[in-house]
Amino acid sequence: MVTPHAASHSDTLAVLRRQHIELPSWAFGNSGTRFKVFGQPGVPRDPWEKLADAAQVHRHTGAAPTVALHIPWDRVDDYSALADHARDLGIGIGTINANVFQDDDYRLGSVTNSDPRVRRKAIDHLLECVDVMDATGSRDLKLWFADGTNYPGQDDLRSRQDRLAEALREVYGRLAPHQRLQLEYKLFEPAFYATDVPDWGTAYAHCLELGERAVVCVDTGHHAAHTNIEFIVAFLLRAGRLGAFDFNSRFYADDDLMVGAADPFQLFRIMYEVVRGGAMAADTQVAFMLDQCHNIEPKIAGQIRSVMNVQEATAKALLVDPDALARAQEAGDVLGANAVLMDAYNTDVRPLLADLREEQGLHPDPMAAHAASGYAERVAQERRGGAQAGWGA
């Protein structure tokens, strides 16, 4: 058996200590499926309370210091005041997600719509999101388009690419030099026949046209079954175009379940490529974000569990011994090379992470600490009539 001893123990701890996982504001609101949104007691009534819940996740994990906003779900009058509020809570505002999918005008698409009036409206919203970034100090604008068609012949596939490129060019041109455009792809849904940004290749090609600060966001739930996501990660990192992850897990479609729940081995393989590609370095340019909905489980605890799942996958990926792996690969030792990875994956890293938390002054078990804190019971008393995550809001 090859004993995993990859990075030295202290290097591994240093990486885990600085690991930063961004939370989605929408994970704290009520959510559901097309069939039912289940309300939960104590859910936030506004963006200010969503930040308070995110701060609770950070308080017990020490690894989730920023929150992504979704505009207009998180629309407020004063975004710098919201950023101050985040700071007072010990966290910060991260990525700004645009929303051009929840308006009757977007029935046939947003930036790819054949109607120039609708395209203008969509682009204006994207530009407004850059204004929000200016106020919050955010680096990343994340764009996901629900655009696509349901029937062959419904619209011209190629013209829609032209309209998309034109819109992206205008938004990219509005960014400040320190700001980036994240382009997120998704295989299908809500469009079923053709989606305008269906895969990483399309997103990557548009990013290349735009310039260096246009990067691809990999939402792990947005692929066909059995897609080798770690290959995409390796490819994009090599090309310098992996901008972010939207982590979640799936059994069937875009399920938005807790990351690492459906397939922890896949998450490990992804995190191994992240480590291999140098993206766990202190100056990493990759944003690690959760994009999940907790329809039936408690939301804050669901986020805590997800952060822990990413930490565990990362710790295991850091245990892969690169020298032993390279030796086995060079020797064509198929089973030996595979064993190096499997030995790391099969290591129980929970004690290591518990020690790390204690060293940071945290409870070794964030789930237990949150449960014992009484936070959920307190907000259930204080908050009445919590808001929906955004869907249908």
Residue 309 binding target from ligand LRH, Mn ion, none, CB below 5 to 8 Å by type: none
Compose the 251-270 pattern: x for residues touching ligand LRH by CB under 6 A, - for all others.
---x----------------
The answer to whether residue 144 forms part of the interface with ligand LRH (CB under 6 A) is yes
Q: Which stretch binds Mn ion (CB under 5 A): 26-34, 113-121, 244-252, 306-314?
A: 244-252
**Residues 49, 155, 219, 312: which binds ligand LRH (CB under 6 A)?**
219
* Structure tokens that stand for 8 in this block: 């030295």
Q: How far is the CB of 250 from ligand LRH (least distance, A)?
A: 11
Q: How far is the CB of 144 from ligand LRH (least distance, A)?
A: 4
Provide the β-strand partners of residue 219.
Answer: 246
Site for Mn ion in 256-285 (CB under 5 A): none
3-state secondary structure of 310: helix
Distance CA 257, CA 251 (A): 9
Q: Which is nearer to ligand LRH, 244 or 356 (CB)?
A: 244
The answer to whether residue 219 forms part of the interface with Mn ion (CB under 5 A) is yes
The greatest distance separating any two alpha carbons of the chain, rounded to the nearest whole angstrom, comes to 64
**Residues 246, 273, 321, 343: which binds Mn ion (CB under 5 A)?**
246
**Residues 59, 186, 213, 363: which binds ligand LRH (CB under 6 A)?**
186
Distance CA 25, CA 29 (A): 8
3-state secondary structure of 55: helix
Site for ligand LRH in 17-36 (CB under 6 A): 26
236 Cβ contact list (under 8 Å, min separation 6): 200, 204, 216, 218, 242
313 Cβ contact list (under 8 Å, min separation 6): 260, 264, 267, 268, 270, 271
Distance CA 77, CA 274 (A): 38
**Residues 230, 291, 321, 343: which binds Mn ion (CB under 5 A)?**
291
Picking from 294, 229, 232, the residue whose alpha carbon sits closest to that of residue 266 is 229
Yes or no: say if 74 and 97 are a contact pair by the CB < 8 Å rule: no
The answer to whether residue 184 forms part of the interface with ligand LRH (CB under 6 A) is yes
Q: Which is nearer to ligand LRH, 186 or 299 (CB)?
A: 186
**Which residues would be at the binding site for Mn ion (CB under 5 A)?**
219, 246, 254, 291
**Which residues would be at the binding site for ligand LRH (CB under 6 A)?**
26, 97, 144, 184, 186, 219, 246, 254, 291
